[in-house]
Amino acid sequence: MELGIGMFGDLAIDQTTGKYRDAGIKIREILEQVKLMDEVGIDVFAMGEHHRADYAVSSPEMVLAAAASITKNIKLASGVTVLSSSEPVKVYEDFSTLDLISDGRAEIYVGRGSFIESFPLYGYSLNDYEELFDEKLELLLKINSQENVSWSGKLRAPMQNQTVYPRAKNNGKLPIWRAVGGTPQSVLSAAQLGMPLVVAIIGGMPIQFKNLIEFYKQEYRKAGHDESEMQIAIHSHTFVSEDENVVDGYFNTYKSQMDRIGKARGWAPFTKMQYDGGKAREGALFIGNADHVADKINYMKEIFGITRFIGHMDVGDPAHDIMMKSIELFGTDVKKQIK
The confidence score (pLDDT) of residue 88 equals 98
Residue 129 structural domain: 2-338
The confidence score (pLDDT) of residue 139 equals 98
Tell me how far the alpha carbon of residue 258 is from its chain's centroid. Answer: 17
The confidence score (pLDDT) of residue 264 equals 84
The confidence score (pLDDT) of residue 84 equals 96
Q: State pLDDT tens for residues 233-270.
A: 999 999 999 999 999 999 999 999 999 999 888 999 99
Question: CA quadruple 162, 168, 173, 177: dihedral positive or negative?
Answer: negative
Whole-number Å distance between alpha carbons of 9 and 14: 15
**CATH, residue 44:** 3.20.20.30
Q: What single-letter amino acid sits at 258? A: M
The confidence score (pLDDT) of residue 179 equals 98
The confidence score (pLDDT) of residue 339 equals 77
Q: What single-letter amino acid sits at 96? A: S
> Which residue in 260, 251, 237, 261 sits closest to 315, CA to CA?
237
Whole-number Å distance between alpha carbons of 280 and 266: 26
The confidence score (pLDDT) of residue 15 equals 84
> What total of structural domains would you count in the chain?
1
Report residues of the chain scoring pLDDT below 70: none
User: What H or E segment, with its residue span, contains residue 110?
Assistant: strand 106-111
Query: Which phi and psi angles does 106 have, rounded to 5°?
Result: -85, 145
Q: State pLDDT tens for residues 169-179.
A: 999 999 999 99
Given a contact cutoff of 8 angstroms between Cβ atoms, the answer to whether 50 and 60 are in contact is no
Whole-number Å distance between alpha carbons of 34 and 287: 20
Whole-number Å distance between alpha carbons of 274 and 287: 12
